[in-house]
Structures are given as C-alpha cells and as structure tokens.
Chains A and B, each alone.
Chain A
C-alpha cells in the first residue's frame, strides 16, 4: 500500500459526460501528479500541483482540469468525454514535488467511456 488513495477504482460512463476522479496523497506529501495510461499513448504526464498551486503541465487536454484543495487532496475533472479518453488514470504524490524525490503512485482509476 503506497498510501495514495484514488477513488473510484472503476468508472463507466457515456460519451459526452463529465466525471471527477479523486486523489488523497500520502500524509505529509505536498505535491500531487496526475498521469494517464492508455494502450496507445503509454504513461503520459498530465499535470502537477504543489501545495495548492499548479506547478507543471503536460499533455492535458482543454476538456480536462484539475485542482488541489487546501487539505491537499486533488481532483481531476474530465468533461465532454470521448471514447479515446478510456484509460487508467494514476495519481502520485511526493513530499516536495521535485524530480529527485520519490513519487508514490495510487492504484489508479480505470475509466471506460462507452
């Protein structure tokens, strides 16, 4: 158990809908990362937050948004869902969000868009 909690574990929804994925980081970790894992794209970095502020942005679509709340949990919002958004979405957390600090991954949320 990495200490990073993601909910829900599985999500099935229809095209055009909006979903929210939730992540609770390890106790004491200030930084949260979101990654998307799909068969064709592999593991892609989406976005990083540190102590409530956006720190780095990757290949995140405009239909997607995220935020980190004062209690440090984070949510990833996916809207106007398309079939191609079906993937495993991982959250990771680290103490200070720097590249040389170990990031601990949650077990992921598997999103299926039908």
Chain B
C-alpha cells in the first residue's frame, strides 16, 4: 500500500531563514506528488505538484520541491521564509489508476521573529 512519511512533526525557523520540509513516499510505481498547506481554520491549498518531467518543480508563494526517485523523496524548500508561512504542511501521493490521495501526518511550521 502507498504511504507517505513526514518525519518532522514540528519545525521552528527564524523569519528570513531557509526552510526544508521532508517527505518520503513508499510505492513501486511512479507517483504523483503534492504539497498542500493548511492555515489555521482553513482548508488545504495546493502549493505544488509533480507528475513527470523536470524533477524540480516550482509552486506558489516562492516554494519549490525536488523529486528524487533514488531516495523516494519529495522535499519542500523555500529560500527565505516569511511570518505568513506559519502553517501546517502536508505531503501527499497518488498514482495513476488509484485516484485517492494518501496524505502524510503533516509538519507544523512555526516562524520566530
């Protein structure tokens, strides 16, 4: 069965610092990979997605992620975080012919001044 692991439950970074959130998936086929962000009291918003092609994908709000097949990873990065980036971030995986998304447990991001 497909699964997604987000090893960091909570990360704290200073405003202006760089950020990397980790995501590992488990399945044999080529995955469709997503990062979603959930602000307090809000629904999930798609940051970026990977289906095929260039393994470095750009998303909204200055985020990017890199698909590394050899490491089964899809880590999310941002060069300089803003206070408004404080939220919960979810990695998700889907596959052709398996239309549901499987979500990781999420990483809560706290930004300190």
- The size bracket of the interface on B is 20 to 34
Give CA–CA (A110, B78) in the complex, Å.
Answer: 31
> Which chain B residues (59-113) contact chain A, with CB distance < 8 Å?
90, 94-106
Q: Which residue of B lies closest to A104 (CB)?
A: B46
Interface mask (B44-63 → A, CB under 8 Å = 1, otherwise 0): 11100101000000000000
Neighbouring B residues of A35 by C-beta, 8 Å: 103
The answer to whether the Cβ of A103 comes within 8 Å of any Cβ in the partner chain is yes
Instruction: Indicate which residue in A45, A92, A99, A106 contacts B96 across the interface (CB closer than 8 Å).
Output: A99
Give CA–CA (A100, B29) in the complex, Å.
Answer: 14
Q: CB distance A100 to B100 under 8 Å?
A: no
Known A42-B103, A99-B94, A100-B96; contact A107-B43, beta-carbon cutoff 8 A: yes
Give CA–CA (A102, B32) in the complex, Å.
Answer: 11
Q: How far is the CB of B7 from chain A (nearest CB, A)?
A: 14
Q: CB distance A103 to B49 under 8 Å?
A: no
Known A55-B99, A100-B32; contact A42-B105, beta-carbon cutoff 8 A: yes
Binding site for B on A (CB under 8 A): 2, 4, 33, 35, 42-43, 45, 48, 55-56, 58, 90, 92, 97-100, 102-108
Taking A102-B49, A107-B41, A107-B42 as given, write out 13 further A-B residue pairs in contact, using a Cβ cutoff of 8 Å, ordered by the A residue number.
A43-B90, A43-B103, A43-B106, A45-B101, A45-B102, A55-B99, A56-B98, A98-B99, A99-B96, A99-B98, A99-B101, A100-B51, A103-B46
